[in-house]
Structure formats: C-alpha cells, structure tokens
Amino acid sequence: MATSLRIINGKVYDPANNIDGEVREIFVQDGRIVADAPADARTIDARGMVIMPGGVDIHCHIAGPKVNLARKLQPEDHRHDPHPGTLFTRSGSGGTVPSTFATGYRYATLGYTTAMEAAVTPIGARHTLEELHDTPVIDKGFYVLLGNNIFLQQLLQEGRREEFKQAVAWWVNATKAYTTKLVNPGGDEPWKGKRNANVADIDEKSEVFGISPRNIIDAFTGVVNELGLPHPVHIHCNNLGHSGNVYTTLETMKTAGDRRLHLAHIQFHSYGGEPGKNPKSAAAEIADYVNSHPNISCDVGQVMFGKSTIMTADAPLAYMLRGFKKGKWVNADTECESGCGIVPFSYQEHVYVHALQWAIGLELFLLSRDPWRIILSTDHPNGGSFMSYPKLIRLLMDREFRKEEMKKVNKKAMRSTRLPDLDREYTLNEIAIITRAGPARALGLKHKGQLGPGADADITIYDEQEDKELMFSAPRYVIKSGDLIIADHEFRNDHAGRILHVAPAYDEDIVGTVRTFFENYYSIEFDNYAVSDQYLYDHEVISTT
C-alpha cells in the first residue's frame, strides 16, 4: 500500500545529488521521491539519524539451482539459524545460504533494497525467477552465464560475429536477464573434456574451438556495449584464486580498451607470486589500473572470517578447492552452458592465505581513489555472508578497530601487505557511494541509489552511532517503494519487490539457428526453454540505449 511520507530533521547522504550530510526534508508519494508531500502525509522525525538511499548489492548469489544445491548440502546450517516469522513477515532459515524469505527479510534488516544474483545458467533462468519472485522486499535481477556456452563459442570460432551478437541478445531476452556474465571464460570445455584441466593463460587457445579467453572477453565486451545494456559484461576472470593471477586480471581489463567492463570480486583476482606457490598481494597494481581507467568498475568480494559457502560456475576452481577442506562438495555440469561447484568453507584468521585475502580486499578499498567504481561486496556467500556487511563497513570507517582486528590475524600475511600503513577512514558519504550510489550507477539504475525527485522511494534511516557496525546492523526505518517496511527496528509491513531485466532488440532469424543447435544437443524441447512474458509479474524492463 503506497504511503505519503514526510521525513524531517535527518542528515541526508545522497552522493548522486551532491548532498553530504545536510539536514534536509525528504518527501514520498506513490512509491517515489517527490518535491513535496500532501499536508496529511505521515511524518517521520529523523532527528539524530542518518538518511541514505536503500542499499544496492551488485553481486551476490541468492537464487537458482546452484543456490538450492548449496542449501540442500548444508541442512545443519538451517537447523542452527532459524529465521522466525513476525505478524507481517514469513519464516525461513538462515546460515550462509538462507531460504528465499529469509534472504529478502535479512537484506531489508540491513537497509538493502536491491540485489543482483550474479550467475545463472540460461536453463536455470525459470527456477531463478521463481525464487526471486519468492524473495520478499527487495528488487532483484540476475546475470546470465554465457562465457562457456558451446553454441556461442562455435559462432566465434566460425567468425559469425553478427549472428553471435544476435544470439547474445536473444539469450538475454529468452532468460529475462539483466546482463551477461562470463565466468572463467573458455575454461569449462577443457575441464569437462580433459580430466579436470583448466585454461591457465588468457591467450591459450581452446583445442576444441581454437579461440582464447581473450577472444571471448573481447567479443562479449563489444556486443554488450553495442546492445546498449545498462550494465556492461560482468566478468569473473580466468585464474581466480591462483598466485600470479594479477597478470590475467590486468590483461582482461586491457582487452576492454576504453569500453565499459565490470570485474566481479576483484580481490580474488589480485594475487602476485608464482603459480603453485603462496600468493602475495598485488592490490596496489590492480588499484592503480582501476584508478586510471574510468571505464572499469569492480566489486571487491571481501573475505570475512568465519563460515562461507563457495558456489561458483568456475567448476575447475571448485574441484581444486574441494581438496583444501575435507568435507562435502559438489561439482556439476549444465548441458552445453556452464559448469558449477559448491564447497562449504570457512576463512580463518591464522591461515596465511585467508588472512592475506582479507587484507587484500581492505587494501583495494583503501587504495581506490574513486569510490564510485569500487563497490562493496563479499561475493555472498563466497567471501562471507552479506550479513557481515556492517562489520566490513566498520573496518573501512574505523582505523582503530581495523588495527585491533589486524592483531588477530596471521602476522606473516599482514607484513606482506600495505594494510598496516593505510590510515584512511571511509566517510559516511563514501559508504553511501560504495553501497548505494556507486552500484546503482554501475548498473545503470537511474531511479536507485539516489533520493532526488522521481527516484524510487527506497530509503534507509539509521540511528547515528559511534560504533558503525552496530549502526549499519539495524536501521530504525526501512522504506521500500514508499512502503514503510521497518519502523523502530521492527517489521511493520511486507513487500514483494520487482524483477529488473532488459529486453534488447534482436533479429528473429537467429531463433532458427539456435533451435537447430538446441534440438541436436539439449535434453529438453526448445519450445520449453525460453521464459515466456506471461511468466513475469511485478517486473520492470530497464531500457537499453
């Protein structure tokens, strides 16, 4: 139910509109921010409070077949962390991979109102949309995995560039995705076909297709920009987690030239050292490149100590990691589209590599000169749960707290990074950028991450507190599309949230070409593959330019 609201006396942090902590009034009507509200609008007195746009998570894993597989793999997590219902909200279960209901409500309890699921196979799109529709409060969308798609690689191999572009546009439409995702591009085929092999070099040509990861990255960067998608190709580079992968990451960024590109969880791709040996921090080299190339955006993928669940379309990576943690793991293959791996994990302070990963993420945040392009994420639940965001915010805002935490971790790892010398503390304005305004801009969501007239009325109001972890853990008010969802820290309402997707134009002739391939190799009927328009409800098509 839409509400008219007048929010008075609060300190507003709205970086997209150059408002940095000024006391301003915010008005809401019919789900949008407006210039004024009717005289009978409900008033919220936000004296002593901080007002920000709702948080936007640009990269997380919250819905679809692989997420469900991770839930089924860890029933003990759910038993130990029940999520009770309230008068207004439904119950669920938590752990590092919460149920759909708990995911939406827990994001809301942190003041997040938008989240993007970062890796979905085309064949998993329908399942993902069903779960996203079932994830309350937040608006949401997903990125479709196309970087190991056999048919698309065949088109590239045969130099059929225009058909490749039309096929990418068709696939994005057919799945109702938000953009395309590449994960270890070109790495799945050697893994499937050659006893767990992987590609090691961005210029290594596939024996099957004769094309390299660089060819795939270049082609996708080109077509996604040509199609005018609001968010560029979203890439998980080759060699994730391997010592010396900084070379691959820099070369990936260079491949884009001056075209837009988003690098996912860049912390996992910022390692120096020799392959096969212990990694070293290469955060400074990566930060330098990102600082001087405004076409690049990235999210950090911060590691937080404690339990996590590694879930990835990078099947060779998951296969390698299963050896580090003697426990449950899954590797799976999705027809002609992607691999997948799940490994329950935990990051520990005393382990050199884990402490180094923690430090590299913080170095990247602190060495970055443009907060608009270095976005807060933990690659939930890979580096840690999104529920650890408040602690991460405190690590960035509170130098003394950071120094205390540094004392608890592996000393050798700490000495090998620049973290002990970095005194920077993020301001509230910068936090508003890396959690709201920055991700909204990188996603091309003009109505989000800001509080100007016309914006979606997604608003979070925090009690201003010295302890930033406490402050960001429990907003006093959360407003979603104008509905007052949380007031005085308690749920007062429920909300469905919308699916955000794009619909780029494509040439109908491509459908027959895809159909021929599909009917030869897939296990389901082509006519049951694409998600029909009727399937979507509560959705918004974000325009392509």
The footprint of Zn ion (CB under 5 A) covers 118, 379
For the chain, how far is it from start to end, CA to CA, in angstroms? Answer: 32
**Closest CB to Zn ion among residues 198, 377:** 377
Question: If DSSP codes are grouped into helix, strand and coil, which group holds residue 20?
Answer: strand
Show the tokens assigned to 49: 């409070």
**Closest CB to Zn ion among residues 379, 430:** 379
* Cβ-contact 81, 70 below 8 angstroms: no
Q: How far is the CB of 235 from Zn ion (least distance, A)?
A: 11
**Closest CB to Zn ion among residues 16, 118:** 118
Element (H, E) at 27: strand 19-29
* Cβ-contact 116, 140 below 8 angstroms: yes
**Closest CB to Zn ion among residues 284, 332:** 332
Q: How far is the CB of 59 from Zn ion (least distance, A)?
A: 6
Task: Find, among 130, 192, 108, the residue nearest to 387 by Cα.
Answer: 108
Q: How far is the CB of 298 from Zn ion (least distance, A)?
A: 12
Q: How far is the CB of 117 from Zn ion (least distance, A)?
A: 9
Which residue's CB comes closest to Zn ion?
379
> How does strand 179-183 pair with strand 139-145?
parallel
**Closest CB to Zn ion among residues 109, 382:** 382
Report the Cα 312 to chain-centroid distance in Å. 13
Q: How far is the CB of 176 from Zn ion (least distance, A)?
A: 20
Specify the DSSP class assigned to residue 206.
Answer: P
Show the tokens assigned to 174: 């057919």
Q: Would you put residue 318 in left (φ > 0), alpha (ψ -120 to 50) or beta?
A: alpha
Show the tokens assigned to 53: 């746009």
Q: Exposed (0-12), middle (13-18) or buried (19+): which is 76, by Cβ within 10 Å?
A: exposed
Q: How far is the CB of 118 from Zn ion (least distance, A)?
A: 5
**Closest CB to Zn ion among residues 77, 379:** 379
Q: Would you put residue 93 in left (φ > 0), alpha (ψ -120 to 50) or beta?
A: beta
**Closest CB to Zn ion among residues 379, 458:** 379
Q: How far is the CB of 269 from Zn ion (least distance, A)?
A: 12
Q: How far is the CB of 279 from Zn ion (least distance, A)?
A: 19
**Closest CB to Zn ion among residues 379, 494:** 379
Report the Cα 372 to chain-centroid distance in Å. 15
Element (H, E) at 171: helix 161-175
